[in-house]
Structure 1
Amino acid sequence: MLLAFKTELKINNKQRTELLKHSGVARHAWNWGLDLTKQILDYNEANPNEKIKFPSAIDLHKWLVALVKPENPWYFESSKCAPQYALRDLRSSWDRCFKKVSGAPRFKKKGRSDSFELDGTIKIRSTHKIQLPKLGVLKTYESLPQVQPKSVTISRTANRWYISFRMEVEQANTPKIVDVVGVDLGVKSLATLSTGVVFEGAKSYRETEAKLSRLQWLNRHKQVGSANWKKAQARIARLHQRIANIRKDTIHKLTTYLAKNHSTVVIEDLNVSGMMANRKLAKAVQDMGFYEFRRQMEYKTKLYGSKLVIVDRWMPSSKTCSNCNVKKEVLSLSERVFNCEHCGFSLDRDLNAAINLKNAASHAVSACGLVSADTTRMKQEDFSLLANVSKL
């Protein structure tokens, strides 16, 4: 299966300037192509009897070479692949828009999501060096896999540049400790397993919210575009990157542990957009990263030879008793302990939901008898122990 490898580049000021040039060329080509295609769509709408054929990516690149490059000689300072791939991505974005999969593409702004793609003569020289067309040999902080990538994507986040490419990896069938596990995601704790283990979320945004608010407050009166404004913007961007990295690191460790050590992982199809509409829960839901959790589980279960089962979102996993399967009519969010009025069973709310998710996939007769009601709280520092266990 194909997996993406991404690592940070170790570059000097000259190389950083070259990367900025390439991303600027790709951004200019995208914006030019977007403006042209919008004009064509507007013309076709105004003149239904004299429609112009919507251009393909090849047509856009031909027009770019004929019309744009002669007037902008700085295009020739960068690789031809940067604008070519930008126009390919633009056409793909329009295709998704026409199929109503996503909205219409937007114009790109300098400094936001700077990236470009390259192909051609790409060689990994050593464990920490990769040769790229027009850019020469670039160093990396991490060791590179010894593969032969056909194309690479270089992107910038805050003040750091990253390189990524796809590579073929073999499926690793690791020995499984548990056959079936139910995973209940929540805002109080990131994940509660049917085995009784509770993973606490990093809550990186909540931890750094005061510092982020302070930086934004100090930047409120700076003149936009000034040197001090750019410095403050860079500090804010670096803090946002740190928040995202902490969240991703937590989710990566959790999903790797689940995929490596469980044959079947059962999760719920959460309505994340609906949860984000609740202004009281939106910040906490976003801080947990439920979508990223599911995305990682989908490819990691394939990588480690396990199975992912997604239960319908309308299943009342929290309201159903895992002992007698009797459903409660009302269960408020403030009730953290599930008390069954029918059989007198009492259990932590999230653990009860996780067991119900497990029963939905395995059809066990009495799963609650296998699990202790006392959950094990697992904090951020305990992930190192899980990493060692998963290697066994």
Structure 2
Amino acid sequence: MPKQILKAHKIRLYPTDEQQIFFAKSFGCARFIWNKMLGDKIDHYKTTKTTLNNTPAQYKKEFEWLKEVDSLALANVQQNLRAAYSKFFKQGAGFPKFKKKGIKDSYTTNNQKGSVAVTKNTVKLPKIGHIKVKIHQSVNGLIKSATISRTPSGKYYVSLLIETIVNELPKTHSNIGIDLGLTDFIVLSDGSKVANPKFLSKLQAKLAREQKILAKRRAAAKADQRKLSESRNYQKQRIKVAKVYEQITNSRKDFLHKLSFNLIKNHDVIAIEDLNIKGMVKNRKLAKAISDSSWSAFT
């Protein structure tokens, strides 16, 4: 039976130098608004013991350069901050944190009357127009929003949230239980096992080597009294380290996606043991192995 779902579709972007400048401004403005609104909320509560209902619009009067980016990007920051506060008060999540430059640079915009669209070799975004892409899979459905991001190694992506219709998988009349492990990634109740790929362990030597070189580049820049942002050798090596991390992350995501899809396709009911993963990670002897296994991402 067909059903309506929201599906994410991630596409690599190839922006021009001018478009990269616009993205950098947008990431910076989104981060600024988050930090400014969060800081003002904290200060207001300390003084009055009441909640401050601030909005991005009020800051545009003082900081006019905020008008240079997509207004919906700033509006989404407000919604995300509101959601973070809600999770803190209602779900026991951690208190919202200030954002640092270069860590998860991104912003989200919404599709309004075709302002976000996909063609054969471009993606159209508000206030910037068409950006070159390489489409490997067709994008079918109604685009609701687009999140643009930049990885630490300098790659750009857009994640489209799409409302689409899919057919439900046929019933298999099969139930399965799953135990998580470190030697084996999972052990199924039918006796079968899936080996732990240990992506971090496989690339640990390469990562350590690149990080050692990065430390030398940092020390050299410090000795020359240069900012790290101005040291070409440091920045080149930083990207090399980032690429190793991305290789580990992408390998994990691909493994988990294929494994979870296979389990869902072949079983109607899946039961998995309930582990206190956050508590277990506090054990220094287990932390690295558990993090490498990515139990949290799987469950």
Q: By the TM > 0.5 criterion, same fold?
A: yes
Q: Name the SS of the counterpart of 1:16 in structure 2.
A: helix
Q: Which amino acid aligns with 1:40?
A: H
Between 176-185 and 1-10, the greater mean CA deviation after superposition: 176-185
Q: Which residue is equivalent to 1:289?
A: 294
Give the superposition deviation at 1:213.
Answer: 1.1
| 1:210, distance to aligned residue in structure 2 (A) | 1.1
Question: CA shift at 1:173, angstroms?
Answer: 3.1
1:334-353 to structure 2, matched below 5 A, reads none
1:184–1:268: 8 Å Cα contact kept in structure 2? Answer: yes
Aligned partner of residue 105 in structure 1, secondary structure: coil
User: What's 1:116 paired with?
Assistant: 107
Residue-by-residue CA offset, 1:45-87 (whole Å, 9 max, x unaligned): 5xxxxxxx5233xx42232123222xxxx32322222222222
Aligned to 1:185: 180
Structure 2 unaligned spans of 5+? 222-227
Shift in alpha-carbon separation, 1:130–1:65, aligned structure 2, 3 A: same
Q: Distance in 1 between matches of 2:35 and 2:168?
A: 46
Q: What SS does the aligned partner of 1:85 have?
A: helix
Secondary structure at 1:165 match in 2:
strand
* Equivalent residue number for residue 126 of structure 2: 133
Residues of 1 paired with 2:118 and 2:89: CA distance? Answer: 42
Residues 116 and 33 from structure 1, CA distance in 2 versus in 1: closer, same or farther, beyond 3 angstroms? same
Report which stretch shifted further, 88-97 or 258-267.
88-97
Give the residue type in structure 1 aligned to 2:52: P
Query: Paired residue for 2:75?
Result: 84
* Structure 1 contact 23–115 (Cα < 8 Å) conserved: yes
Q: Residues of 1 paired with 2:180 and 2:118: CA distance?
A: 43
Indicate if the aligned counterparts of 1:190 and 1:288 stay in contact, CA closer than 8 A: yes
CA distance in 2, matches of 1:97, 1:183: 31
Pairs within 5 Å for 1:1-392: 1-45=5-49, 53-56=50-53, 59-69=54-64, 74-99=65-90, 101-119=92-110, 120=112, 121-142=114-135, 143-158=137-152, 159-175=154-170, 179-221=174-216, 222=218, 223=221, 224-225=228-229, 226-294=231-299
Tell me the SS of whatever aligns to 1:122. coil
Using the aligned pairs only, state the percent identity.
32
**1:67 aligns to what SS in structure 2?**
coil
Partner-residue secondary structure (3-state), 2:284: coil
- What is the aligned length? 281
1:84 maps to amino acid: A
Cα distance in 2 for residues equivalent to 1:255 and 1:100: 26
CA apart distance, 1:125: 4.2
> What is the distance in 1 between the residues matched to 2:40 and 2:116?
36
CA, structure 1 residues 187+231, in 2 after alignment: closer, same or farther (shift >3 Å)? same
Q: Partners in 2 of 1:23 and 1:277 — Cα distance?
A: 33
Closer/same/farther in 2, CA of residues 266 and 243 from structure 1, 3 Å limit: same
Distance in 2 (CA, whole Å) between partners of 1:91 and 1:7 is: 28
In structure 2, do the counterparts of structure 1 residues 125 and 268 end up closer, same or farther at CA, with 3 Å as the change threshold? closer
> Which secondary structure does the structure 1 equivalent of 2:147 belong to?
strand
Return the alpha-carbon distance in structure 1 between the equivalents of residues 240 and 174 of structure 2: 46
Separation in 2, partners of 1:87, 1:173: 35
The change in CA–CA distance for 1:79 and 1:204 in structure 2 (over 3 A counts) is: same
SS at match of 1:169: strand
| Secondary structure of the structure 1 residue equivalent to 2:127 | coil
Q: Does structure 1 retain, via aligned residues, the 8 Å contact 2:60–2:66?
A: no
Q: After superposition, what is the alpha-carbon deviation per residue over 1:159-207, rounded to whole angstroms, capped at 9, x for unaligned?
A: 2111112223345333455612222221001122233332112211000
| Cα 1:246/1:230, change in 2 over 3 Å | same
Q: Contact 1:180 / 1:265 at 8 angstroms: preserved in 2? A: yes
Q: Aligned partners of 1:111, 1:132: CA distance in 2, in Å?
A: 22
